[in-house]
Structure 1
Amino acid sequence: MEELLSLALAQEPLWQVDKENNTEMLSDVKYMRVVKVRECQSPPTLEVDNSHEPVLAVSSESSRAVEYFKTSPISIIELLMDLEQWSLAFSNIVSKATVVGVLASTGAERHYDGTLQLMTAEFHAPSPLVPTRESSFARYCKKLGSGLWGVVDVSPETLPQFPSRNFRRRPSGCLIEEMPNGCSKVIWVEQVVVDNRLVHHFFQPLVTSGFAFCAKRWVNTLIQHFQWSATVKAPNSPTDRGGN
């Protein structure tokens, strides 16, 4: 969560603006320097034997997007923390998802502060020539301050019980800030490590650039979901009149 907060609020040179595609991409060189500094400052942890972990030809994809929503932070948090709502909202990205177990929970309905759950999911692009990305990850939700929430995913795949696959999530997720008039500001960060060798050469530029699974795609999908939801619930919705 601390890394997500740091990445979400960081500026240049850590984040570099791609003016051609109107996206923000993370500088791998700057990021690795930040990681090394943090590791030097961290207290010692239990050592994990990674000698049997397969070495993959991986590349990193990192992006960030900022958007405003005409809904409350709680509505967004409920969507992200509820498997059924999350799978429905992001059905164009998430092909399969399960909750393996809830590791920590407040136990209070509609109150996810401190909830930690272990999940598995498959992410897909709209083409059979792009292999699905399978991953196990922990999702953690925390209230960071007055009107500020964070939801972060990270793959614990350095542990023996979660073997490495073709895809791993570095700390990714979003900060959700309450704004006036019942609106919310969302800063979405996506950073993953992936093996793209099986992607068809026709889609290689789209995938390796990060565009296929970038933060902007997640944010735009969320916008479309809330627009659809608002239309369905509107008093003058065509569904209320028995229209097509």
Structure 2
Amino acid sequence: DPSLSWYQAWLQLDEDVRGSMRTYTVREWRDAERELIVDMVLHTSEASDGGPASNWATAAEIGSRLHVIGPARDVPRGRGGIEFDPGTARHLLLAGDETAVPAIASILESLTQPPFAAETLTGHVILEVPHAGDILTLDVPAGMEVTWLVRGERDHGDLMRAAVRETVQPAPDSDAQAVDLDDIDIDATILWDVPRALSGAARNSGTDTPQGERPFYAWIAGEAAAVKDIRRYLVQDIGIDRRQVAFMGYWRKGRAEGS
């Protein structure tokens, strides 16, 4: 059917034929070597089944093959799946769980290159990971503070939610008004609420502050329920302009990609 996208056509194939697909962040592309760098987490369930990507990576050796579908080379910088587009904002909030660590690490590295001026940036980076061994050394602009949260046995996303609330609070003299926010059924659709994709109604429902004068930008990614809760807090409760925030549900607890 020519009206179907490649993804819709792929979904219509028999599962035994189409194989499995998983989404990863491009950590680095080495042009001279023609090498694509991707961070993969090796994990297993109680049944010792790590899922198709983890199982493949565990058994992979030189010569193992897989198909890669990715953004075109000419995708504007900061987009192409990561959706980082802060404009002229100089105070940033980056928050995510372990699935967002590669993207946030890539974003931080990009901040040291044009058009960004790392010396003018301030803000917070909040990263929730399962274990202390998952903490990485990141290249971070001097004005940005990184907080690693080790989840342990706590519920996924709880530490990240609390840290965002503690970090971003309404100013005592703020006249920002709480706004109604459309609900997103994260069990039926992907939570991908980014400024580039806002509806006309959403674009026209923000503050009166000119876009070039908005000092703050937030980028939130990870498990969809946690991201949805943070989205509600920042936009609905505090009243942050939706054109200053990007929210992405990278995955949904209890659901495999494509299910």
Normalising by the residue count of structure 1, what TM-score does the alignment of the two structures yield? Answer: 0.24
Structure in which a larger fraction of residues adopt strand: 1
Q: Which has the higher contact order (CA 8 A, sep 6+)?
A: 1
